[in-house]
Amino acid sequence: MNWPAARWDQVGAISSAALRRADAEATSTFGIEPLQLMEVAGWQAARFVDAFMDGIRNKRVTVVAGSGNNGGDALVAARFLLQRGAIVDVSIVPSRDPNSLAGRQALTTRRLGISIADAPHAIGASADVLIDGLLGTGIRLPLREPAPAIIEAMNATGRPVVAIDVPSGMDADTGMGADAAVRAAATLTLVAPKAGLAGVSNAGRVFLADIGMPVALFGAEGETLAALYQVGDLVELVNSS
C-alpha cells in the first residue's frame, strides 16, 4: 500500500518534553483524557499494521506491551487486530497498578480471551509480525532489565516489527541507544515527528499518525502539524534524496 508522504526537511520535530506538556494541557484545557488518545493511538496502530502486512486476517501477531502508556496503546491495537481476524497473543510487562491505563487495558485484553504471557515469554519466530509497545519516549538510558532481554528477544525473531511511537530503547529526541534498541521494519510515531527518528536505520520506514491531539497546544509549530495532518491521518516521513 502507498501512503501520502512528507519530507523530513519540511516537517518540524517536537521534543518529548513538549509532548508531555501537551498531554497535560489536553486534559486541563480541552478535557481530553489520556484514555481517549490511547484508544485512537491503538486504532491507528491496528489499521496501519493491517495495511502494512497486506491484510492481517489469519496472520499471527505478537504484541509486546510495557507497563506504561505505550503498552496501553499496544494493547488497544491488539483488541482491534483481533476484531480484524488476526491471531493475537500478548507478551507483557505487567503494570504494578491495576488501575493504570495499561493495567485496565490488560484486564480488557484478558477478558477478550487473548493469550497473555509475561515478557519475554511468547516472543518467537512463529509470529508473522510483532508490535513493539514496550517503551515510549520517557526512557532513561542505560536500560535496566528486563527491558534489554525483551528487546533482544524481539530482535532475535527475525520477524518484522512495527514500533509504536519509537523503537523501544531509543531516545526519541537524540537517537541515542539506537544500537541496542528494537530493530523495526516500520515505526508509527504519534502526534508529531521526533528528531531522533530521522535517518536512524532501526526505525525502518517512519510514519506519523494523527490521534486527535489539538494542534493549538503546540504554538507556532501547530501550523506545521496542521498542514501535515491535512496531507493525511497516516503520513510517511521520507528523506529528501
- Report the pLDDT averaged over residues 176-197: 97
pLDDT value at 240 more than 80 = no
* Per-residue confidence (pLDDT) for residue 157, from 0 to 100: 98
d(CA 100, CA 106): 10
pLDDT value at 12 more than 90 = no
For the chain, the structural domain boundaries read 5-229
Q: What percent of the chain has pLDDT over 70?
A: 100
Closest to 210 measured CA to CA, from 225, 220, 223: 225
Closest to 78 measured CA to CA, from 39, 52, 121: 39
- Alpha-carbon radius of gyration of the chain: 16
d(CA 32, CA 16): 19
Per-residue pLDDT tens over the stretch 201-239: 999 999 999 999 999 999 989 999 999 999 999 999 998
Which DSSP helix (H) or strand (E) runs through 205?
Answer: strand 205-209
Residue 67 DSSP symbol: S
Contact between 23 and 163 under an 8 Å Cβ cutoff? The reply is no
pTM (two decimals):
0.97
Superfamily of domain 5-229: YjeF N-terminal domain (3.40.50.10260)
Find all residues with CB under 8 Å of 97, minimum gap 6, and list them: 103
* Per-residue confidence (pLDDT) for residue 147, from 0 to 100: 97
User: What CA dihedral angle connects 17, 186, 143 and 133, to 10 degrees?
Assistant: 80
Q: Label residue 241 by pLDDT band (50, 70, 90).
A: low
Bridge partners, residue 89, by sequence: 62, 115
Contact between 161 and 154 under an 8 Å Cβ cutoff? The reply is yes
